[in-house]
Each structure stands twice: as C-alpha cells, then as structure tokens.
Amino acid sequence: MFDLPNVEFNLNLAARLRKNGFVVYCPNENEAINDKTRTDITPEKVYLQDREELLASNVFLCQVSEDSGTMWEAGLMACLSTDVDPSRYYGVIGLATDIRLATVPDPAKSGIENQSWAVNAFVIGGLKTSLGVVGDVDSLIARLLEIRAEREETEDARS
C-alpha cells in the first residue's frame, strides 16, 4: 500500500467493493495518517487510527505479503473473530496476487535456486482457517458476497 501502483490498486479495489455494496475502510484514503505534508503523524497515531477502523469492521482483507503491519492487523482480526466475538467479527480473507506464487517448485533445486515463492506457513494457515485466500479480485468479490449471504442467513435463522 506504499507505492503508487499499489495505492492505485487499493483505491480501485475499494471503489469496486463499494459498487458491490460493501462499506470499506481503505487506509490509503485516511488523510489523518497519510497526509505526508504533516509532521505530527506518529506511529502511535497510525496504529490507533487503523486499530479503531479495524474494530469497527467485521472482515479484514489483506494482500498476502510479508508486511509486518498487515500481519499484525490480520492477527488482531483473527483473535477478535475466534476468541472475542465471532458473531460480530467474521475474520480475515487474503488476496494473493503475487505472480511468483504461480511458479511450480523444482524438486531438483533447493534454497535460493528453487524459484518458487513461499509465504509464511503460519500466515497462510491462519488465513485458510479464517475466511480463506483467493488469487484475484473477481474471486475476492465472489467470496465476500458469499460471506455476506452466509451471515444474512444466520441472522435470519436467529430472528
């Protein structure tokens, strides 16, 4: 979310999700923490702003990466959805669009010579046991619509 192509991707994705009826918090749109002309933005302010928005959400969508901030947020939502209030917090869904994930591992090569790319197993395990991992935006939207329908059915059953 930090370089221009990724910022544009995030903003376009947020717009597309909104067109599908989702309420979206996109950190790239939060001027309180992203106005780079300001000198009063601290790590604590970034954390508190994003944490507040995360607590107001019921699904955390993250691009599968090794970004420690993203993983911290995913872990918080995973905890909320499993240990705090599963009826309020639904979980975490990963969007894995890195083209390196399509590389087939070569068993004849090891270490850095094997050009397949791996993601931390704990992260992938967490995503898979939460709301899952998808590989493209169309699949992401389909999965989110599915989650919404499942939750609406659950709510209707309770009524």
pLDDT beyond 90 at 65: no
SS3 9: helix
User: Would you state the pLDDT for residue 118?
Assistant: 75
SS3 93: strand
For residues 137 and 99, which has the higher predicted lDDT (pLDDT)?
A: 137
User: Would you state the pLDDT for residue 19?
Assistant: 98
Helix 68-79 to helix 121-129 angle (10° resolution) is 40
pLDDT beyond 80 at 147: yes
Give the C-alpha separation, 29 to 7, whole Å: 9
User: So where are the chain's domains?
Assistant: 4-158
Fold of 4-158: Rossmann fold (3.40.50)
Mean pLDDT of 112-127: 85
How would residue 102 be classed by pLDDT, with cut points 50, 70 and 90?
A: confident
- Measuring CA to CA, how many Å separate 36 from each of 6, 9, 39? 17, 19, 8
